[in-house]
Chain A
């Protein structure tokens, strides 16, 4: 074990090491800047300029790179829908912190069909947490507020762990966990998002039914039809992104989220 003096010395050496890493020279920087501006020029103007045009479709420009167009479209859609709601704008700033989840605001999905009532699917497997842990590369947690999971499965691609419980008052409650370091694993289209907190961690609350699409490992949306999800809370516990779904109130969902303990 290193004592304080040794730590300080080590820290000083690490600072010195960092300073030996050469920064790009001036010519390199200019080449770099040109590389960025040539790509930025193909993008729509920054979102702030779109404020005046409320009716602008997020997709109305057609930049060359599909992936960037997508990013711009989602961010523009977010901003467009969130204008004038300051607390939500703070959440937009945190948007990149929700690696693993992308949110696209859209029309309410349940309207018009009448039958579109979200059903929370229970997990299908009967693994133990111990077994699940050995199959995935990220830390798993379990909410002590709900006790031992009744069902537990690891997705076929090993990227998601799902736990579920059936509670006497609200029926199925489902917790999906995945590695938040992967980006854009789950896409959600929702009419409204409420930013909230789980402890100090930023979280998003979906009060209304919304669509959920799980992406394939290569980042493309899966071909399976989007699932209609009910009330959902999303937050990050360390590197793990958690998604809690069930007929819960926000307060109860947050209380459950706060009871998640790493089970490692």
Chain B
């Protein structure tokens, strides 16, 4: 099914697959769009959730796929589809918090509600390296950032998008991504240093016993 090609065991281009599927959608292949949705459903839902859509993450992602379909001709080729889709997801998520004055508060509470979503998967080595307390502390810290700062940190690190894709998804210039990211990290470090439940970022995978403050949350 996948149209990505292999040569000497090396996958040349994953995105090539999107281009082929897109061409089929445009040619009127009814099932092709479902395939495109299947490919990108996970990243779309995660993006919505991590950008603050909370319990609405799936709805937001679905809406984005429907809008993307309606405007499909705006995508020049398959390489751009994911970034373009995630940009719609980001815009839809912002629209959830539409009232300008209250956006910050509402995003913050959406984030707090989303916290149970971020449960450690014990089989994932990456999550084992992060103590439960450190995770909670990072989440608390993120809720205290401005929306711009939280967005850039979320795209660049939590979602692991590169700088160019982050710029596309958030609709900013690359220079803006770079400078906001720099400031956001500094701000987050400051916020974490003030956190009453702070665990010093341990060099090793385990926090030192005794550094936990039980009532920190």
A interface, CB within 8 angstroms of B: 1-2, 6-7, 9-11, 13-24, 29-30, 32-33, 35-37, 39-40, 43, 45-49, 68, 71-72, 75, 79, 89-90, 92-93, 95-97, 99, 136-138, 158-159, 179, 181-183, 200-201, 236, 238-239
For the complex formed, measure the closest distance between the CB of B35 and the CB atoms of chain A, giving whole angstroms.
Answer: 9
Q: A10-B188, A43-B66, A46-B26 are in contact. Are A75 and B138 (CB under 8 A)?
A: no
- B211 interfacial by beta-carbon distance below 8 Å: no
Whether A39 and B62, one on each chain, are in contact in the complex, defined by CB atoms closer than 8 angstroms, is yes
Q: Which of B105-141 contact A (CB under 8 A)?
A: 117-121, 124, 126-127, 129-130, 134-135, 138-139
Summarize A's interface: helix, strand, loop or mixed: helix
B126 near A19: Cβ-Cβ < 8 Å? yes
CB distance from B80 to the nearest CB of A (A): 8
Once A19-B127, A29-B38 are accepted as A-B contacts, the answer to whether A36 and B66 lie under 8 Å apart by CB is yes
Given contacts A1-B186, A21-B117, A68-B70, contact A93 B84 (CB under 8 A): yes
- Known contacts A19-B124, A21-B117, A71-B70: does B103 contact A236 (CB below 8 Å)? no
With an 8 A cutoff between CB atoms, is B149 at the interface?
no
**Is A183's CB under 8 angstroms from B189's CB?**
no
Instruction: Please give, as numbers and ranges, the residues of chain A lying within 8 Å of B119 by CB-CB distance.
Output: 20, 22
B118 touches A20 (CB 8 A): yes
Give the shortest distance, in Å, between B208 (CB) and chain A (any CB).
Answer: 15
Q: Which of B120, B157, B171, B173 contacts A14 (CB 8 A)?
A: B157
**Residues in chain B near residue A20, CB distance under 8 A:** 118-121, 124, 126-127, 130, 135
Bound: A19/B94 CA distance, A: 23
Q: In the complex the two chains form, is B91's CB within 8 Å of A21's CB?
A: no
Contacts of A36 in B (CB 8 A): 33-34, 37, 62, 65-66, 69
Residue B42, interface by CB 8 Å: yes
Contact between chains at B62 and A35 (CB < 8 Å): yes
Main secondary structure of the interface of B (DSSP, over half): helix
Contact B45 A32 (CB under 8 A): yes
- Residue B75 at the chain A interface, CB threshold 8 Å: yes
**Within 8 Å CB of A49, what residues of B?**
26, 28
Could you say which residues of chain B place their CB within 8 Å of the CB of A7?
185-186, 189
Does B198 lie at the interface of the complex (its beta carbon under 8 Å from any beta carbon of A)? Answer: no
B87 contacts A by Cβ under 8 Å: yes
Chain A residues with CB below 8 A from B126, complex form: 15-16, 19-20
Q: Are B100 and A181 in contact (CB under 8 A)?
A: yes
One of A22, A48, A201 near B26 (C-beta < 8 A): A48
Contact with A along B73-110 (1 / 0, CB 8 A): 11110001000100110010011001011010000000
A201 to B173: give the CA distance in the assembly, Å. 8
Q: Which residues of A contact B45 (CB under 8 A)?
A: 23-24, 32
Q: Is B72 an interface residue (CB 8 A)?
A: yes
Extra 12 A-B pairs, beta carbons < 8 Å, given A20-B120, A35-B62, A182-B98: A10-B188, A10-B201, A13-B201, A14-B158, A17-B118, A17-B158, A18-B158, A20-B126, A24-B58, A71-B70, A159-B100, A182-B100
The answer, yes or no, to whether B19 is at the interface (CB within 8 Å) is: no
Q: Residue among B33, B73, B101, B124 with the most chain A CB within 10 A?
A: B73
- Which of A37, A46, A99 is within 8 Å of B37, CB to CB? A37
Q: Known contacts A36-B65, A46-B25, A75-B70; decide if A23 and B101 are in contact (CB<8 Å).
A: no
Known: A32-B62, A71-B70. A17 touches B201 (CB 8 A): no
